[in-house]
């Protein structure tokens, strides 16, 4: 029967049981009171029979019962955390067998490194190169993989975890990972050998540690260093410890470590807290060894670490960045899991920090890269690894040389959301560097231009919605910078006169241009107005488009012109609200990296503002034979002309929807498909002209965390745009 017992009651079953208990307590209390009352009635005529005492005792008993009842009710108030605790217990029991498997493997000294992969760049290490030969036992590999997954879930239950933030996941999804992998694979080993580093006769290895608030675990860290030093030849290891905790002095730190290790330790302490990046750079500057090993003050290093490193340094004399595999341990040092190493370091961008754990960096590489960058605290090692990987292959070992300690509040000073945000900054900085390396010609700095003055708003209309057109003009009147409207009437002379008369009746007298070629499509009135700006408005600095049912908010022009002025961009883009009749406004399109325009339009015509000088220099025009997507085609033309876009998540305007928004498409689906094909053809040409460097640069400049999580169609759009750039690059 024991094997068929349920592991835990469900929440409903537990509640039902507690309700029954409360009912029983109530009933018991009532019975006790009735017994007291009956006894008192029977003995009422007998003086001194203790009736008063019995009644008093009955009252006390009732209070006791009620107190017990309240205690149980209090328990009801904590059912939610209890339910979570029971669920965790259930999951732990499911992984108990695999945990026992791990303990048994450790007991018989099963070498998990034999089941682990090792790489130099994207090449797997051969058995002759490995310190621990690779095991071909498929059953052992399957069991280890199963244990890894289950024990990972166990760690999450015990210590908590969080999935990658939407911004981080979106950036990795959108990035040109195939090109980044190719760049990592193409990196060549450095020509400088170890003998060129110098420091002959000094320590070979310098362990770098920054101490901060880990008095409970630092002694365990120090004991692991003691074991390493004792197992190594004398004088080959030094420990450079930099104190970042103002509460402790040198004597206090020495008291936390074994006496035998103190002669090998140099402690630097100035009574201040500068942060881990500054402290690690200070430790590296003070180090005398040829190899710099990073060790967290709460983690542990394996006693065989330098012996394993010796083997690989001899076999790979040009390797300057070596990373080991890692075991997870609990607060007491018990192994929770041996992390699997399956991805090679050329997937570092998309897979995360897979070249971490015990990292041994040759001192000359550390100096060449300028050490850790203080812009990325908490992810400084990831930034360093990416910068190293683009220069030369990284060596990733299958051996477990590092023990990472999990705690109830692991990394309290940098919770996961902040860590993810910092990782996004790291990846964007790398993309910027990657773009500069792949750019066909040196980047041209945005020119410093004079202050932006007056501008024009091009409004196209057919004169059928004068009331809405008047509202559009009214929104322009409230702009805080000078904006003059240009109304382009797509119609004959009679239509133009009608618009002029109707607006005059409302007290409005804007500039009205005629687009009389009614045989031409929607791009025709836009060209008429742009030609006017190009040739007849020399004093105007910027322009933007509106349809006759759009409105802009009072700060639209001021906000976007300031963006142009501050960034030197050619096109400034904001967001818009969407309004349907008799309904509340809803958010319109969300922004994406600018290069995603090649796969689909996410910038409505009323959401951006452009320099007139860009119009003049590019010769930009709309297609006049397309009844659909002429605005998307125009934006692709702007992008292809080299125009620089700057995006803001500010909502600056509003457009109105009448009908279902697809009426025109339904009217002529064949022509719509033809327009789509033609626009995509231009997009292919632009992708070929700009190259993948442009795509990477746009990703680097885009902040995914400033917008809502990507939708399925948006992910498909980014994937399609990336494929266009990658295809054109290979072509």
The DSSP annotation for 295-354 comes to --TTSEE-TTHHHHHHHHHHH-TT--EEEEEEEEE-TT--EEEEPP--S-GGGHHHH-S-
Is position 167 within any domain? no
Instruction: State which of 45, 68, 85 marks the end of a domain.
Output: 85
Cα–Cα distance for residue pair 613/565, rounded to 1 Å: 13
Instruction: State which of 85, 100, 116 marks the end of a domain.
Output: 85
Is position 155 within any domain? no
CA distances for 176 relative to 119, 179, 435, 724, angstroms = 22, 6, 11, 11
Is position 378 within any domain? no
Give the residues across from 610 on adjacent strands.
Answer: 543, 571
> For 645-666, what is each residue's pLDDT tens digit?
999 999 999 988 765 444 555 5
Token output for 105: 């493997």
Cα–Cα distance for residue pair 544/565, rounded to 1 Å: 16
The CATH number of residue 525's host domain is 3.90.550.10
CA atoms within 13 A on the CB side of 688: 8
CB–CB of 395/291 below 8 Å? no
What pLDDT, on a 0 to 100 scale, did the predictor assign at position 152? 74
Are 66 and 210 in a shared domain?
no
> What are the φ/ψ torsions at residue 166 (nearest 5 degrees)?
-55, -40
Cα–Cα distance for residue pair 81/227, rounded to 1 Å: 42
What pLDDT, on a 0 to 100 scale, did the predictor assign at position 35? 57
Q: Where do we find the tokens 């201040």?
A: 272
- CA–chain centroid gap for 498, Å, is 55
Is position 177 within any domain? no
Cα–Cα distance for residue pair 337/333, rounded to 1 Å: 12
Is position 322 within any domain? no
Total count of residues recorded for the chain: 731
Those residues of the chain that have pLDDT short of 70 are 1-111, 160-164, 193-200, 409-417, 439-451, 658-666, 727-731
Are 524 and 663 in a shared domain?
yes
Cα–Cα distance for residue pair 56/330, rounded to 1 Å: 56
Token output for 461: 């209309």
Q: Which domain range does residue 681 map to?
A: 455-690
Are 223 and 76 in a shared domain?
no
Are 525 and 667 in a shared domain?
yes
Cα–Cα distance for residue pair 254/235, rounded to 1 Å: 20
What pLDDT, on a 0 to 100 scale, did the predictor assign at position 605? 92
List all residues 6 or more positions away from 48 whose beta carbon is below 8 Å from its beta carbon: none
Give the residues across from 35 on adjacent strands.
Answer: none
Q: Where do we find the tokens 């239509």?
A: 495
Is position 103 within any domain? no
CA distances for 74 relative to 70, 78, 81, 119, 543, angstroms = 6, 7, 13, 57, 67
CA distances for 495 relative to 502, 526, 597, 605, 625, angstroms = 11, 17, 35, 24, 21
What pLDDT, on a 0 to 100 scale, did the predictor assign at position 43? 52
CB–CB of 726/692 below 8 Å? yes
* H or E element at residue 388: helix 380-389
Instruction: State which of 260, 289, 318 marks the end of a domain.
Output: 289
List all residues 6 or more positions away from 616 whose beta carbon is below 8 Å from its beta carbon: 534
Cα–Cα distance for residue pair 393/315, rounded to 1 Å: 14
What pLDDT, on a 0 to 100 scale, did the predictor assign at position 415? 41
Cα–Cα distance for residue pair 446/612, rounded to 1 Å: 16
What pLDDT, on a 0 to 100 scale, did the predictor assign at position 442? 44
Q: Work out how many domains the chain is built from and give that number.
A: 3
Is position 45 within any domain? yes
pTM value is: 0.75
Give the residues across from 396 on adjacent strands.
Answer: 119, 323
CA distances for 97 relative to 92, 241, 515, angstroms = 9, 41, 79
725: closest CA among 639, 643, 615, 610? 639
Token output for 368: 């060449």
Is position 144 within any domain? no
What pLDDT, on a 0 to 100 scale, did the predictor assign at position 385? 95
Instruction: Compute the Cα dihedral for 13, 15, 17, 23 and give only its sign.
Output: negative
What pLDDT, on a 0 to 100 scale, did the predictor assign at position 119? 95
CA atoms within 13 A on the CB side of 707: 24
What pLDDT, on a 0 to 100 scale, did the predictor assign at position 205? 95
Give the residues across from 542 on adjacent strands.
Answer: 455, 611
What pLDDT, on a 0 to 100 scale, did the predictor assign at position 662? 45
Q: Where do we find the tokens 């103002």?
A: 246
């Amino acid at each position: 029967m024991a094997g068929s017992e349920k592991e835990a009651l469900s929440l409903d079953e537990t509640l039902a049981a507690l309700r029954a208990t409360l009912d029983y307590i109530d009933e018991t209390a009532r019975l006790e009171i009735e017994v007291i009352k009956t006894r008192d009635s029977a003995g009422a005529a007998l003086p001194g029979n203790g009736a008063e005492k019995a009644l008093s005792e009955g009252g006390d008993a009732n209070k006791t019962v009620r107190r017990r009842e309240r205690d149980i009710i209090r328990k009801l108030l904590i059912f939610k955390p209890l339910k979570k605790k029971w669920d965790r217990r259930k999951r732990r029991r499911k992984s108990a067998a695999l945990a026992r498997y791990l303990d048994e493997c450790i007991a018989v000294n099963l070498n998990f490194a034999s089941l682990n992969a090792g790489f130099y760049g994207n090449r797997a290490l051969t058995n002759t190169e490995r310190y621990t030969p690779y095991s071909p036992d498929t059953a052992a590999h399957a069991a280890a993989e199963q244990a890894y997954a289950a024990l990972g879930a166990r760690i999450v239950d015990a210590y908590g975890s969080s999935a990658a933030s939407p911004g981080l996941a979106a950036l990795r999804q959108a990035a040109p990972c195939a090109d980044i992998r190719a760049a990592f694979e193409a990196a060549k080993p450095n020509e400088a050998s170890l003998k060129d580093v110098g420091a002959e006769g000094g320590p070979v290895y310098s362990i770098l540690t920054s101490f901060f608030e880990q008095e409970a675990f630092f002694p365990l860290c120090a004991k692991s260093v003691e074991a390493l030093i004792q197992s190594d030849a004398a004088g080959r290891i030094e420990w450079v410890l930099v104190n970042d905790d103002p509460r402790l002095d040198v004597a206090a730190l020495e008291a936390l470590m074994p006496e035998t290790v103190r002669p090998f330790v140099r402690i630097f302490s100035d009574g201040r807290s500068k942060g881990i990046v500054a402290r690690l750079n200070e430790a590296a500057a003070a180090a005398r060894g040829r190899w710099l090993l990073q060790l967290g003050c709460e983690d542990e290093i394996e006693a065989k670490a330098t012996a394993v490193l010796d083997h690989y340094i001899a076999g790979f004399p040009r390797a300057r960045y070596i990373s080991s595999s890692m075991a997870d341990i609990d607060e007491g040092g018990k192994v929770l899991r041996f992390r699997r190493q399956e991805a090679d370091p050329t997937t570092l961008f998309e897979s995360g920090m897979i070249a971490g754990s015990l990292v041994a960096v040759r001192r000359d590489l550390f100096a060449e890269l300028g050490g850790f960058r203080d812009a990325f605290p908490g992810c400084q090692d990831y930034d360093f690894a990416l910068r190293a990987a683009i220069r030369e292959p990284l060596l990733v070992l299958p051996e477990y040389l590092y023990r990472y300690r999990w705690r109830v509040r692991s990394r309290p000073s940098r919770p996961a959301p902040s860590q993810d945000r910092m990782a996004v900054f790291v990846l964007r900085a790398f993309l910027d560097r990657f773009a500069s390396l792949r750019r066909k010609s040196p980047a041209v700095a945005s020119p410093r231009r004079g202050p932006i003055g007056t501008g024009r708003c091009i409004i196209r209309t057919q004169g059928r919605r004068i009331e809405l057109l008047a509202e559009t003009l009214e929104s322009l009147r409230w702009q805080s910078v000078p904006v003059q409207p240009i109304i382009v009437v797509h119609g004959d002379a009679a239509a133009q006169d009608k618009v002029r008369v109707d607006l005059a009746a409302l007290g409005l007298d804007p500039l009205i241009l005629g687009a009389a070629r009614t045989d031409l499509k929607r791009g025709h009135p836009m060209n008429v107005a742009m030609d006017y700006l190009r040739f007849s408005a020399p004093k105007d600095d910027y322009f933007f488009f509106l349809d006759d049912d759009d409105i802009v908010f009072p700060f639209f022009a001021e906000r976007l012109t300031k963006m142009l002025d501050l960034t030197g961009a050619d096109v400034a883009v904001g967001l818009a609200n969407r309004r349907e009749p008799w309904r509340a406004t809803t958010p319109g399109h969300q922004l994406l990296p600018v290069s995603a325009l090649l796969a689909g339009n996410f910038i409505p015509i009323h959401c951006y503002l452009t320099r007139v000088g860009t119009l003049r220099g590019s010769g930009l025009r709309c297609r006049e034979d397309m009844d659909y997507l002429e605005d998307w085609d125009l934006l692709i033309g702007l992008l292809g002309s080299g125009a620089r876009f700057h995006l803001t998540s500010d909502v600056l305007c509003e457009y109105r929807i009448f009908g279902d928004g697809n009426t025109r498409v339904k009217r002529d689906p064949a022509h719509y498909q033809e327009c789509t094909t033609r626009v995509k053809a231009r997009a292919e040409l632009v992708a070929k002209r700009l190259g993948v460097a442009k795509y990477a640069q746009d990703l680097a400049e885009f902040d995914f965390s400033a917008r809502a999580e990507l939708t399925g169609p948006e992910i498909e759009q980014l994937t399609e745009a990336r494929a266009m750039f990658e295809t054109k690059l290979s072509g």
